Structure 1
Amino acid sequence: MTNISLGMREVVRSENDGYVLELKDPVIDYVEFEKQAEKLESIDASNVDRAMQIEWLYTGDLFGDKAYVWATFETERYARLYASFSVKLAAALISLRDMNAASKLLLKLNERYPFDESVVRLLMTIRNQTGDKKGLTVLYTGYARLLSRELGIRPSEELTQLYEMLVSRFDRK
Protein backbone atom coordinates (compact mmCIF):
# COMPACT_ATOMS: atom_id res chain seq x y z
CA MET A 1 0.00 0.00 0.00
CA THR A 2 1.36 3.38 -1.01
CA ASN A 3 1.30 6.21 1.49
CA ILE A 4 -0.03 9.29 -0.31
CA SER A 5 0.33 12.66 1.39
CA LEU A 6 -2.74 14.84 0.97
CA GLY A 7 -1.12 17.88 2.55
CA MET A 8 -3.38 17.58 5.57
CA ARG A 9 -0.58 17.13 8.11
CA GLU A 10 -0.24 20.92 8.40
CA VAL A 11 -3.93 21.64 9.06
CA VAL A 12 -5.16 18.64 11.07
CA ARG A 13 -3.83 17.91 14.52
CA SER A 14 -4.85 15.68 17.37
CA GLU A 15 -5.98 17.41 20.53
CA ASN A 16 -7.87 16.27 23.66
CA ASP A 17 -9.11 12.94 22.26
CA GLY A 18 -10.25 14.66 19.07
CA TYR A 19 -9.04 16.51 16.04
CA VAL A 20 -8.67 20.18 15.21
CA LEU A 21 -8.81 21.51 11.67
CA GLU A 22 -6.92 24.77 11.31
CA LEU A 23 -7.48 26.46 7.96
CA LYS A 24 -6.00 29.82 7.02
CA ASP A 25 -8.49 32.10 5.24
CA PRO A 26 -11.07 29.41 4.38
CA VAL A 27 -13.81 30.27 1.88
CA ILE A 28 -17.16 29.20 3.29
CA ASP A 29 -19.80 29.24 0.56
CA TYR A 30 -22.77 30.16 2.73
CA VAL A 31 -20.90 32.97 4.50
CA GLU A 32 -19.67 34.33 1.17
CA PHE A 33 -23.18 34.10 -0.35
CA GLU A 34 -24.70 35.96 2.59
CA LYS A 35 -22.05 38.69 2.53
CA GLN A 36 -22.32 39.26 -1.20
CA ALA A 37 -26.14 39.06 -1.34
CA GLU A 38 -26.55 41.61 1.43
CA LYS A 39 -24.04 43.94 -0.27
CA LEU A 40 -26.10 44.01 -3.47
CA GLU A 41 -29.10 46.08 -2.39
CA SER A 42 -30.70 46.31 -5.82
CA ILE A 43 -30.18 44.40 -9.04
CA ASP A 44 -30.21 46.04 -12.47
CA ALA A 45 -28.40 45.90 -15.81
CA SER A 46 -25.19 47.22 -14.24
CA ASN A 47 -24.81 44.36 -11.77
CA VAL A 48 -26.98 41.48 -12.98
CA ASP A 49 -23.94 39.42 -14.01
CA ARG A 50 -22.49 39.86 -10.53
CA ALA A 51 -25.84 38.87 -9.03
CA MET A 52 -25.83 35.69 -11.12
CA GLN A 53 -22.37 34.85 -9.77
CA ILE A 54 -23.61 35.41 -6.23
CA GLU A 55 -26.62 33.14 -6.83
CA TRP A 56 -24.24 30.36 -7.94
CA LEU A 57 -22.55 30.55 -4.52
CA TYR A 58 -25.70 29.07 -3.00
CA THR A 59 -25.10 25.34 -2.98
CA GLY A 60 -28.24 24.23 -1.15
CA ASP A 61 -29.55 23.99 2.35
CA LEU A 62 -27.16 24.51 5.20
CA PHE A 63 -25.81 21.07 6.20
CA GLY A 64 -27.44 19.49 3.14
CA ASP A 65 -29.95 16.82 4.05
CA LYS A 66 -28.88 16.73 7.71
CA ALA A 67 -31.52 18.25 9.97
CA TYR A 68 -29.82 19.48 13.13
CA VAL A 69 -32.28 20.89 15.66
CA TRP A 70 -29.68 23.32 16.97
CA ALA A 71 -29.25 24.78 13.47
CA THR A 72 -32.92 25.04 12.43
CA PHE A 73 -33.14 28.80 12.82
CA GLU A 74 -29.95 29.45 10.86
CA THR A 75 -30.89 26.95 8.14
CA GLU A 76 -34.29 28.61 7.65
CA ARG A 77 -32.81 32.12 7.75
CA TYR A 78 -30.28 31.19 5.09
CA ALA A 79 -32.98 29.60 2.87
CA ARG A 80 -35.16 32.75 3.20
CA LEU A 81 -32.19 34.94 2.25
CA TYR A 82 -31.61 32.82 -0.86
CA ALA A 83 -35.28 32.89 -1.85
CA SER A 84 -35.52 36.65 -1.38
CA PHE A 85 -32.32 37.27 -3.34
CA SER A 86 -33.42 34.94 -6.14
CA VAL A 87 -36.81 36.61 -6.50
CA LYS A 88 -35.06 40.01 -6.82
CA LEU A 89 -32.67 38.55 -9.37
CA ALA A 90 -35.48 36.95 -11.36
CA ALA A 91 -37.44 40.22 -11.41
CA ALA A 92 -34.34 42.02 -12.71
CA LEU A 93 -33.81 39.36 -15.38
CA ILE A 94 -37.44 39.74 -16.48
CA SER A 95 -37.07 43.51 -16.74
CA LEU A 96 -33.96 42.93 -18.85
CA ARG A 97 -35.98 40.53 -21.05
CA ASP A 98 -33.83 37.49 -20.17
CA MET A 99 -36.85 35.22 -19.80
CA ASN A 100 -34.84 32.02 -20.15
CA ALA A 101 -32.51 32.73 -17.21
CA ALA A 102 -35.38 34.12 -15.11
CA SER A 103 -37.53 31.09 -15.83
CA LYS A 104 -34.78 28.62 -14.88
CA LEU A 105 -34.17 30.42 -11.61
CA LEU A 106 -37.88 30.66 -10.78
CA LEU A 107 -38.57 27.03 -11.64
CA LYS A 108 -35.76 26.02 -9.27
CA LEU A 109 -37.31 28.20 -6.57
CA ASN A 110 -40.80 26.90 -7.31
CA GLU A 111 -39.58 23.35 -6.81
CA ARG A 112 -38.17 24.23 -3.39
CA TYR A 113 -41.02 26.57 -2.34
CA PRO A 114 -44.17 25.50 -4.21
CA PHE A 115 -46.46 27.66 -2.05
CA ASP A 116 -44.56 30.93 -2.64
CA GLU A 117 -46.98 33.16 -4.52
CA SER A 118 -44.33 35.71 -5.48
CA VAL A 119 -42.54 33.00 -7.48
CA VAL A 120 -45.78 31.94 -9.19
CA ARG A 121 -46.58 35.57 -9.98
CA LEU A 122 -43.22 36.07 -11.70
CA LEU A 123 -43.58 32.81 -13.62
CA MET A 124 -47.02 34.00 -14.77
CA THR A 125 -45.43 37.25 -15.94
CA ILE A 126 -42.93 35.29 -18.00
CA ARG A 127 -45.66 33.11 -19.53
CA ASN A 128 -47.55 36.26 -20.48
CA GLN A 129 -44.52 38.03 -21.96
CA THR A 130 -43.52 34.97 -23.98
CA GLY A 131 -47.06 34.48 -25.31
CA ASP A 132 -47.52 31.12 -23.58
CA LYS A 133 -51.24 31.09 -22.73
CA LYS A 134 -51.33 27.33 -22.22
CA GLY A 135 -48.31 27.49 -19.88
CA LEU A 136 -49.94 30.34 -17.98
CA THR A 137 -53.14 28.35 -17.50
CA VAL A 138 -51.29 25.17 -16.50
CA LEU A 139 -49.20 27.13 -13.99
CA TYR A 140 -52.12 28.93 -12.38
CA THR A 141 -54.48 25.94 -12.24
CA GLY A 142 -51.69 23.71 -10.90
CA TYR A 143 -50.95 26.23 -8.17
CA ALA A 144 -54.65 26.55 -7.32
CA ARG A 145 -54.99 22.74 -7.09
CA LEU A 146 -51.89 22.51 -4.88
CA LEU A 147 -53.23 25.13 -2.47
CA SER A 148 -56.64 23.47 -2.36
CA ARG A 149 -55.30 19.94 -1.88
CA GLU A 150 -52.54 20.73 0.62
CA LEU A 151 -53.89 23.73 2.54
CA GLY A 152 -57.59 23.86 1.77
CA ILE A 153 -57.32 27.44 0.49
CA ARG A 154 -57.56 29.29 -2.81
CA PRO A 155 -55.01 31.60 -4.45
CA SER A 156 -55.10 35.19 -3.26
CA GLU A 157 -57.60 37.51 -4.89
CA GLU A 158 -54.69 39.52 -6.32
CA LEU A 159 -53.22 36.46 -8.05
CA THR A 160 -56.62 35.39 -9.37
CA GLN A 161 -57.25 38.86 -10.78
CA LEU A 162 -53.80 38.89 -12.38
CA TYR A 163 -54.48 35.52 -13.99
CA GLU A 164 -57.86 36.64 -15.32
CA MET A 165 -56.41 39.87 -16.69
CA LEU A 166 -53.54 38.06 -18.43
CA VAL A 167 -55.84 35.42 -19.94
CA SER A 168 -58.24 38.10 -21.18
CA ARG A 169 -55.33 39.82 -22.96
CA PHE A 170 -54.64 36.59 -24.82
CA ASP A 171 -58.31 36.30 -25.76
CA ARG A 172 -58.31 39.83 -27.25
CA LYS A 173 -55.33 39.10 -29.49
Structure 2
Amino acid sequence: MLRVIIVEDEKPVLDLMERLVGRHPMLEVAGAFTSPLAALERYPQLKPDAVFLDVEMPKMGGIELADKLRAINEELQVVFTTAYPGYAVDAFRVSAVDYLLKPVTPDALERVVVRLSKNHSLRSAQRRLPGLGEGTAVHCLGTFETRGANGNLINWPTRKTEELFAYLIAYPNRLAGKWQLADLLWTEMEEERALHNVHNTVYRLKKALKEAGLTVDLTHGNEGYLMRIPPSFTDLESFRDFMKRTPAIDERNVAEGDKLFRSCRGALFGGKDYVWSTGLVAEVSSKQAALARMLVSYYRGIADDAAAKETMLTYLSDSPLDEEINAELLRLYAESGEAGSFRSHYEQYAKRLAAELGVEPAESIRGLAARLSI
Protein backbone atom coordinates (compact mmCIF):
# COMPACT_ATOMS: atom_id res chain seq x y z
CA MET A 1 0.00 0.00 0.00
CA LEU A 2 1.38 3.39 -1.05
CA ARG A 3 0.49 6.56 0.88
CA VAL A 4 -0.21 9.46 -1.47
CA ILE A 5 -1.31 13.07 -1.31
CA ILE A 6 -3.20 14.92 -4.04
CA VAL A 7 -2.85 18.62 -4.77
CA GLU A 8 -5.39 20.16 -7.17
CA ASP A 9 -6.66 23.73 -6.96
CA GLU A 10 -10.09 22.99 -8.46
CA LYS A 11 -12.27 21.42 -5.74
CA PRO A 12 -14.52 19.35 -8.07
CA VAL A 13 -11.46 17.88 -9.83
CA LEU A 14 -9.80 17.24 -6.44
CA ASP A 15 -12.90 15.36 -5.24
CA LEU A 16 -12.91 13.20 -8.38
CA MET A 17 -9.20 12.42 -8.04
CA GLU A 18 -9.61 11.59 -4.35
CA ARG A 19 -12.39 9.10 -5.14
CA LEU A 20 -10.50 7.55 -8.06
CA VAL A 21 -7.23 7.20 -6.15
CA GLY A 22 -8.97 6.08 -2.96
CA ARG A 23 -10.68 3.18 -4.73
CA HIS A 24 -7.39 1.72 -5.91
CA PRO A 25 -6.30 -1.22 -3.71
CA MET A 26 -2.62 -0.23 -3.87
CA LEU A 27 -3.14 3.40 -2.81
CA GLU A 28 -4.11 5.16 0.41
CA VAL A 29 -5.00 8.88 0.30
CA ALA A 30 -3.07 10.48 3.16
CA GLY A 31 -4.17 14.01 2.26
CA ALA A 32 -5.94 16.08 -0.40
CA PHE A 33 -5.32 19.82 -0.82
CA THR A 34 -6.51 22.68 -3.00
CA SER A 35 -3.60 24.78 -1.72
CA PRO A 36 0.00 23.86 -2.61
CA LEU A 37 1.20 25.91 0.38
CA ALA A 38 -0.99 23.84 2.73
CA ALA A 39 0.30 20.63 1.15
CA LEU A 40 3.91 21.77 1.63
CA GLU A 41 3.22 22.63 5.28
CA ARG A 42 1.58 19.27 6.06
CA TYR A 43 4.01 17.14 4.06
CA PRO A 44 6.47 16.37 6.93
CA GLN A 45 3.63 14.99 9.09
CA LEU A 46 1.94 12.97 6.33
CA LYS A 47 5.13 11.41 4.90
CA PRO A 48 3.62 10.13 1.64
CA ASP A 49 5.34 7.72 -0.75
CA ALA A 50 3.99 9.58 -3.78
CA VAL A 51 2.22 12.81 -4.73
CA PHE A 52 -0.23 13.65 -7.51
CA LEU A 53 0.25 17.32 -8.42
CA ASP A 54 -1.70 19.58 -10.73
CA VAL A 55 0.75 21.44 -12.96
CA GLU A 56 -1.11 24.77 -13.15
CA MET A 57 -2.00 26.25 -9.77
CA PRO A 58 -2.01 29.83 -8.45
CA LYS A 59 0.76 31.09 -6.14
CA MET A 60 2.82 27.93 -6.62
CA GLY A 61 2.69 25.62 -9.64
CA GLY A 62 3.00 21.86 -9.43
CA ILE A 63 6.54 21.78 -10.82
CA GLU A 64 7.76 24.32 -8.27
CA LEU A 65 6.02 22.39 -5.50
CA ALA A 66 7.63 19.16 -6.70
CA ASP A 67 11.07 20.79 -6.49
CA LYS A 68 10.40 21.83 -2.89
CA LEU A 69 9.03 18.44 -1.84
CA ARG A 70 11.90 16.52 -3.42
CA ALA A 71 14.34 18.81 -1.62
CA ILE A 72 12.85 17.37 1.59
CA ASN A 73 12.76 13.77 0.34
CA GLU A 74 14.64 12.94 -2.85
CA GLU A 75 12.96 9.51 -3.02
CA LEU A 76 9.45 10.99 -3.24
CA GLN A 77 7.64 9.78 -6.37
CA VAL A 78 5.91 12.56 -8.29
CA VAL A 79 3.04 12.23 -10.76
CA PHE A 80 1.69 15.32 -12.52
CA THR A 81 -1.86 15.83 -13.68
CA THR A 82 -2.44 18.25 -16.53
CA ALA A 83 -4.71 19.08 -19.42
CA TYR A 84 -1.68 19.98 -21.53
CA PRO A 85 0.70 17.22 -22.74
CA GLY A 86 3.33 19.84 -23.51
CA TYR A 87 4.19 20.00 -19.80
CA ALA A 88 5.69 16.53 -19.97
CA VAL A 89 9.20 17.85 -20.64
CA ASP A 90 9.13 20.06 -17.55
CA ALA A 91 7.62 17.19 -15.55
CA PHE A 92 10.53 14.89 -16.27
CA ARG A 93 13.00 17.64 -15.43
CA VAL A 94 12.10 17.07 -11.77
CA SER A 95 12.32 13.29 -12.23
CA ALA A 96 8.58 12.73 -12.30
CA VAL A 97 7.49 9.09 -12.50
CA ASP A 98 4.83 9.93 -15.07
CA TYR A 99 2.08 12.41 -15.90
CA LEU A 100 -1.68 11.94 -16.28
CA LEU A 101 -3.81 13.79 -18.78
CA LYS A 102 -7.11 15.15 -17.49
CA PRO A 103 -9.71 13.84 -17.20
CA VAL A 104 -7.86 11.02 -15.43
CA THR A 105 -9.22 7.55 -16.21
CA PRO A 106 -8.92 4.34 -14.14
CA ASP A 107 -6.85 2.76 -16.94
CA ALA A 108 -4.39 5.65 -16.97
CA LEU A 109 -4.14 5.54 -13.18
CA GLU A 110 -3.51 1.77 -13.33
CA ARG A 111 -0.56 2.34 -15.65
CA VAL A 112 0.97 4.84 -13.26
CA VAL A 113 0.37 2.70 -10.17
CA VAL A 114 2.34 -0.14 -11.75
CA ARG A 115 5.32 2.18 -12.11
CA LEU A 116 4.92 3.59 -8.60
CA SER A 117 4.72 0.10 -7.09
CA LYS A 118 7.72 -1.15 -9.05
CA ASN A 119 9.86 1.81 -7.95
CA HIS A 120 8.71 1.47 -4.34
CA SER A 121 9.49 -2.26 -4.28
CA LEU A 122 12.97 -1.76 -5.71
CA ARG A 123 13.79 0.97 -3.21
CA SER A 124 12.45 -1.11 -0.33
CA ALA A 125 14.58 -4.04 -1.45
CA GLN A 126 17.65 -1.82 -1.63
CA ARG A 127 17.01 -0.52 1.89
CA ARG A 128 16.98 -4.10 3.17
CA LEU A 129 20.44 -4.81 1.81
CA PRO A 130 22.89 -3.08 4.18
CA GLY A 131 24.07 -6.00 6.34
CA LEU A 132 23.31 -9.38 7.83
CA GLY A 133 21.85 -7.90 10.97
CA GLU A 134 19.35 -5.83 9.00
CA GLY A 135 18.43 -8.11 6.11
CA THR A 136 19.72 -9.52 2.90
CA ALA A 137 23.43 -8.89 2.26
CA VAL A 138 23.55 -10.11 -1.35
CA HIS A 139 21.15 -9.11 -4.11
CA CYS A 140 21.26 -11.55 -7.03
CA LEU A 141 18.00 -10.95 -8.89
CA GLY A 142 17.84 -8.08 -11.35
CA THR A 143 21.39 -7.11 -10.41
CA PHE A 144 24.38 -8.56 -8.58
CA GLU A 145 25.69 -6.61 -5.64
CA THR A 146 26.98 -7.37 -2.19
CA ARG A 147 26.98 -4.89 0.66
CA GLY A 148 29.11 -5.03 3.75
CA ALA A 149 28.08 -4.42 7.34
CA ASN A 150 28.47 -0.65 6.82
CA GLY A 151 26.06 -0.66 3.87
CA ASN A 152 28.72 0.02 1.24
CA LEU A 153 29.08 -2.07 -1.88
CA ILE A 154 31.98 -4.50 -1.83
CA ASN A 155 34.66 -3.61 -4.36
CA TRP A 156 35.90 -7.02 -5.47
CA PRO A 157 39.67 -7.27 -6.09
CA THR A 158 39.14 -9.15 -9.38
CA ARG A 159 36.23 -10.15 -11.60
CA LYS A 160 37.07 -13.81 -10.96
CA THR A 161 36.69 -13.22 -7.21
CA GLU A 162 33.18 -11.93 -7.80
CA GLU A 163 32.37 -14.80 -10.15
CA LEU A 164 33.65 -17.40 -7.68
CA PHE A 165 31.44 -15.83 -4.99
CA ALA A 166 28.50 -15.92 -7.41
CA TYR A 167 29.01 -19.63 -8.02
CA LEU A 168 29.31 -20.48 -4.31
CA ILE A 169 26.10 -18.61 -3.39
CA ALA A 170 24.31 -20.05 -6.41
CA TYR A 171 25.06 -23.54 -5.09
CA PRO A 172 25.39 -23.03 -1.33
CA ASN A 173 25.67 -25.60 1.43
CA ARG A 174 27.25 -28.20 -0.81
CA LEU A 175 30.80 -29.07 -1.77
CA ALA A 176 32.24 -27.36 -4.85
CA GLY A 177 35.12 -29.50 -6.11
CA LYS A 178 38.39 -27.64 -6.59
CA TRP A 179 38.97 -29.22 -10.01
CA GLN A 180 35.41 -28.38 -10.95
CA LEU A 181 35.97 -24.71 -10.04
CA ALA A 182 39.24 -24.66 -11.95
CA ASP A 183 37.53 -26.00 -15.07
CA LEU A 184 34.53 -23.65 -14.77
CA LEU A 185 36.43 -20.42 -14.15
CA TRP A 186 39.69 -21.00 -16.03
CA THR A 187 38.55 -23.24 -18.88
CA GLU A 188 41.44 -22.56 -21.26
CA MET A 189 44.21 -22.67 -18.65
CA GLU A 190 46.58 -25.54 -17.88
CA GLU A 191 45.19 -27.57 -14.96
CA GLU A 192 47.84 -26.96 -12.30
CA ARG A 193 47.92 -23.24 -12.97
CA ALA A 194 44.11 -23.10 -12.93
CA LEU A 195 44.05 -24.88 -9.57
CA HIS A 196 46.60 -22.39 -8.21
CA ASN A 197 44.26 -19.60 -9.32
CA VAL A 198 41.38 -21.25 -7.44
CA HIS A 199 43.38 -21.22 -4.17
CA ASN A 200 44.45 -17.59 -4.63
CA THR A 201 40.95 -16.44 -5.53
CA VAL A 202 39.41 -18.16 -2.51
CA TYR A 203 41.96 -16.34 -0.35
CA ARG A 204 41.01 -13.00 -1.95
CA LEU A 205 37.31 -13.79 -1.47
CA LYS A 206 37.71 -14.53 2.24
CA LYS A 207 39.77 -11.38 2.70
CA ALA A 208 37.20 -9.19 0.89
CA LEU A 209 34.29 -10.59 2.92
CA LYS A 210 36.17 -10.16 6.20
CA GLU A 211 37.10 -6.56 5.38
CA ALA A 212 33.43 -5.88 4.57
CA GLY A 213 32.38 -7.21 7.97
CA LEU A 214 30.48 -10.21 6.57
CA THR A 215 30.96 -13.42 8.49
CA VAL A 216 30.62 -16.27 6.01
CA ASP A 217 31.32 -19.93 6.76
CA LEU A 218 33.61 -20.84 3.86
CA THR A 219 35.61 -24.00 4.55
CA HIS A 220 37.89 -26.18 2.45
CA GLY A 221 39.15 -29.71 2.46
CA ASN A 222 41.15 -31.93 0.18
CA GLU A 223 38.38 -32.15 -2.39
CA GLY A 224 37.05 -28.60 -2.56
CA TYR A 225 35.21 -25.74 -0.86
CA LEU A 226 31.91 -25.41 1.00
CA MET A 227 30.05 -22.17 1.70
CA ARG A 228 27.27 -22.37 4.28
CA ILE A 229 24.72 -19.55 4.25
CA PRO A 230 21.23 -19.09 5.76
CA PRO A 231 18.32 -18.37 3.39
CA SER A 232 18.27 -14.72 4.51
CA PHE A 233 21.82 -14.10 3.28
CA THR A 234 20.76 -13.68 -0.39
CA ASP A 235 17.51 -12.79 -2.07
CA LEU A 236 18.06 -15.84 -4.28
CA GLU A 237 18.03 -18.22 -1.30
CA SER A 238 15.04 -16.47 0.29
CA PHE A 239 13.16 -16.87 -2.97
CA ARG A 240 14.19 -20.51 -3.40
CA ASP A 241 13.27 -21.32 0.19
CA PHE A 242 9.78 -19.86 -0.25
CA MET A 243 9.14 -21.64 -3.53
CA LYS A 244 10.36 -24.95 -2.10
CA ARG A 245 7.88 -24.86 0.79
CA THR A 246 4.94 -23.23 -1.03
CA PRO A 247 2.85 -25.37 -3.39
CA ALA A 248 0.17 -22.67 -3.66
CA ILE A 249 -0.66 -19.16 -2.47
CA ASP A 250 -3.32 -18.79 0.22
CA GLU A 251 -4.26 -16.29 2.92
CA ARG A 252 -1.46 -17.56 5.16
CA ASN A 253 1.42 -16.89 2.78
CA VAL A 254 0.12 -14.28 0.32
CA ALA A 255 1.83 -11.37 2.08
CA GLU A 256 5.23 -13.11 2.03
CA GLY A 257 4.72 -14.27 -1.55
CA ASP A 258 3.75 -10.81 -2.77
CA LYS A 259 6.73 -9.27 -1.00
CA LEU A 260 9.15 -11.72 -2.65
CA PHE A 261 7.43 -11.29 -6.01
CA ARG A 262 8.14 -7.56 -5.93
CA SER A 263 11.68 -7.70 -4.54
CA CYS A 264 12.98 -10.80 -6.38
CA ARG A 265 12.58 -9.60 -9.95
CA GLY A 266 14.80 -9.56 -13.00
CA ALA A 267 17.44 -11.89 -14.39
CA LEU A 268 19.74 -13.80 -12.05
CA PHE A 269 23.03 -11.92 -11.50
CA GLY A 270 21.67 -8.98 -13.49
CA GLY A 271 22.34 -10.68 -16.81
CA LYS A 272 26.08 -11.21 -16.23
CA ASP A 273 27.37 -13.65 -18.83
CA TYR A 274 28.63 -16.40 -16.54
CA VAL A 275 28.77 -19.44 -18.82
CA TRP A 276 28.01 -21.86 -16.00
CA SER A 277 24.85 -19.95 -14.96
CA THR A 278 22.81 -20.32 -18.17
CA GLY A 279 20.69 -23.21 -16.93
CA LEU A 280 20.28 -21.67 -13.49
CA VAL A 281 19.10 -18.35 -14.99
CA ALA A 282 16.36 -20.22 -16.88
CA GLU A 283 15.40 -22.18 -13.76
CA VAL A 284 15.04 -19.05 -11.65
CA SER A 285 13.08 -17.28 -14.40
CA SER A 286 10.69 -20.25 -14.49
CA LYS A 287 10.17 -20.01 -10.72
CA GLN A 288 9.52 -16.25 -10.96
CA ALA A 289 6.82 -16.96 -13.55
CA ALA A 290 5.39 -19.69 -11.32
CA LEU A 291 5.13 -17.29 -8.37
CA ALA A 292 3.39 -14.69 -10.55
CA ARG A 293 0.87 -17.32 -11.71
CA MET A 294 0.22 -18.50 -8.16
CA LEU A 295 -0.46 -14.93 -7.01
CA VAL A 296 -2.74 -14.24 -9.96
CA SER A 297 -4.63 -17.48 -9.31
CA TYR A 298 -5.12 -16.52 -5.66
CA TYR A 299 -6.30 -12.99 -6.44
CA ARG A 300 -8.66 -14.25 -9.14
CA GLY A 301 -10.00 -16.82 -6.68
CA ILE A 302 -10.95 -14.14 -4.15
CA ALA A 303 -12.30 -11.88 -6.92
CA ASP A 304 -9.63 -9.22 -6.36
CA ASP A 305 -9.29 -8.36 -10.04
CA ALA A 306 -7.40 -5.12 -9.39
CA ALA A 307 -4.64 -6.99 -7.53
CA ALA A 308 -4.57 -9.68 -10.25
CA LYS A 309 -4.16 -7.04 -12.97
CA GLU A 310 -1.47 -5.17 -11.06
CA THR A 311 0.45 -8.40 -10.47
CA MET A 312 0.30 -9.37 -14.15
CA LEU A 313 1.32 -5.91 -15.35
CA THR A 314 4.24 -5.88 -12.93
CA TYR A 315 5.40 -9.31 -14.11
CA LEU A 316 4.99 -8.39 -17.79
CA SER A 317 7.13 -5.29 -17.33
CA ASP A 318 10.02 -7.77 -16.88
CA SER A 319 8.80 -10.63 -19.13
CA PRO A 320 6.61 -8.97 -21.78
CA LEU A 321 6.37 -12.03 -24.07
CA ASP A 322 4.98 -14.51 -21.53
CA GLU A 323 2.06 -15.98 -23.47
CA GLU A 324 0.12 -17.38 -20.52
CA ILE A 325 0.19 -14.17 -18.46
CA ASN A 326 -0.63 -11.99 -21.49
CA ALA A 327 -3.58 -14.23 -22.31
CA GLU A 328 -4.85 -14.15 -18.72
CA LEU A 329 -4.57 -10.36 -18.53
CA LEU A 330 -6.44 -9.95 -21.81
CA ARG A 331 -9.16 -12.34 -20.61
CA LEU A 332 -9.53 -10.29 -17.44
CA TYR A 333 -9.81 -7.06 -19.43
CA ALA A 334 -12.48 -8.70 -21.60
CA GLU A 335 -14.42 -10.00 -18.59
CA SER A 336 -14.29 -6.57 -16.93
CA GLY A 337 -15.51 -4.81 -20.05
CA GLU A 338 -12.32 -2.75 -20.31
CA ALA A 339 -12.26 -2.57 -24.08
CA GLY A 340 -9.76 0.29 -24.18
CA SER A 341 -7.25 -1.52 -21.98
CA PHE A 342 -7.76 -4.75 -23.95
CA ARG A 343 -7.17 -2.99 -27.27
CA SER A 344 -4.08 -1.12 -26.09
CA HIS A 345 -2.47 -4.18 -24.49
CA TYR A 346 -3.31 -6.50 -27.37
CA GLU A 347 -1.82 -4.12 -29.93
CA GLN A 348 1.38 -3.66 -27.93
CA TYR A 349 1.73 -7.41 -27.38
CA ALA A 350 1.13 -8.21 -31.06
CA LYS A 351 3.67 -5.61 -32.19
CA ARG A 352 6.31 -6.91 -29.79
CA LEU A 353 5.75 -10.51 -30.90
CA ALA A 354 6.06 -9.52 -34.54
CA ALA A 355 9.18 -7.41 -33.96
CA GLU A 356 11.06 -9.83 -31.68
CA LEU A 357 9.86 -13.28 -32.76
CA GLY A 358 8.16 -12.73 -36.11
CA VAL A 359 4.95 -14.44 -34.97
CA GLU A 360 1.34 -13.57 -34.19
CA PRO A 361 -0.44 -13.95 -30.85
CA ALA A 362 -1.79 -17.43 -30.13
CA GLU A 363 -5.00 -18.42 -31.92
CA SER A 364 -7.02 -18.27 -28.69
CA ILE A 365 -5.91 -14.67 -28.07
CA ARG A 366 -6.61 -13.64 -31.67
CA GLY A 367 -10.03 -15.26 -31.38
CA LEU A 368 -10.79 -13.25 -28.26
CA ALA A 369 -9.69 -10.07 -30.02
CA ALA A 370 -11.89 -10.92 -33.01
CA ARG A 371 -14.93 -11.37 -30.76
CA LEU A 372 -14.29 -7.94 -29.30
CA SER A 373 -13.78 -6.52 -32.82
CA ILE A 374 -10.20 -5.45 -32.16
Give the TM-score range, shorter chain: 0.7 to 0.9
Shift of 1:53: 3.1
Match of 1:40 in 2: 246
Other structure's SS at 1:64 match? helix
For 1:150 and 1:56, locate their aligned partners in 2 and report how far apart those are by CA, in whole Å. Answer: 26
Match of 2:68 in 1: none
Match of 2:174 in 1: none
- 1:149 paired with 2:335, answer no
For 1:60 and 1:152, locate their aligned partners in 2 and report how far apart those are by CA, in whole Å. Answer: 24
Count of residue pairs brought into register by the alignment = 155
For 2:341 and 2:290, locate their aligned partners in 1 and report how far apart those are by CA, in whole Å. Answer: 24
- 1:23 paired with 2:216, answer yes
- 1:132 paired with 2:338, answer yes
% identical equivalent positions: 26
- 1:98 paired with 2:284, answer no
Match of 2:325 in 1: 119
Q: Counting strand residues as a fraction of each chain, which structure ranks higher?
A: 2
What TM-score do the two structures reach when normalised by structure 1?
A: 0.74
1:2-47 C-alpha deviation (Å, 9 max, x unpaired)? xxxx68xxxxxxx955241442654221112112123211224454
Residues 60/114 of structure 1: CA separation in 2 closer, same or farther (3 Å cut): closer
Taking the TM superposition and a 5 Å limit, the aligned residue runs for 1:52-63 are 52-63=258-269
CA contact (8 A) 2:265 2:288 kept: no
Q: Which has the larger radius of gyration?
A: 2
Q: Counting helix residues as a fraction of each chain, which structure ranks higher?
A: 1
Match of 2:290 in 1: 84
Gaps in structure 1 of 5+ consecutive residues: 1-5, 8-14, 169-173
Residues 129/158 of structure 1: CA separation in 2 closer, same or farther (3 Å cut): closer
Gaps in structure 2 of 5+ consecutive residues: 1-148, 151-198, 210-214, 218-228
Higher relative contact order (CA 8 A, sep 6+): 1
Residues 44/128 of structure 1: CA separation in 2 closer, same or farther (3 Å cut): farther
Shift of 1:73: 1.4
For 1:61 and 1:160, locate their aligned partners in 2 and report how far apart those are by CA, in whole Å. Answer: 30
Residues 19/110 of structure 1: CA separation in 2 closer, same or farther (3 Å cut): closer
For 2:265 and 2:339, locate their aligned partners in 1 and report how far apart those are by CA, in whole Å. Answer: 33
For 1:59 and 1:144, locate their aligned partners in 2 and report how far apart those are by CA, in whole Å. Answer: 24
Shift of 1:126: 2.7
Match of 1:66 in 2: 272
What TM-score do the two structures reach when normalised by structure 2?
A: 0.37
1:59-108 C-alpha deviation (Å, 9 max, x unpaired)? 43221242222212112211111012112212221232223322222122
Shift of 1:58: 1.2
Aligned residue type for 1:66:
K
For 1:151 and 1:18, locate their aligned partners in 2 and report how far apart those are by CA, in whole Å. Answer: 44
For 2:350 and 2:263, locate their aligned partners in 1 and report how far apart those are by CA, in whole Å. Answer: 32
RMSD, aligned CA: 2.6
For 1:44 and 1:164, locate their aligned partners in 2 and report how far apart those are by CA, in whole Å. Answer: 35
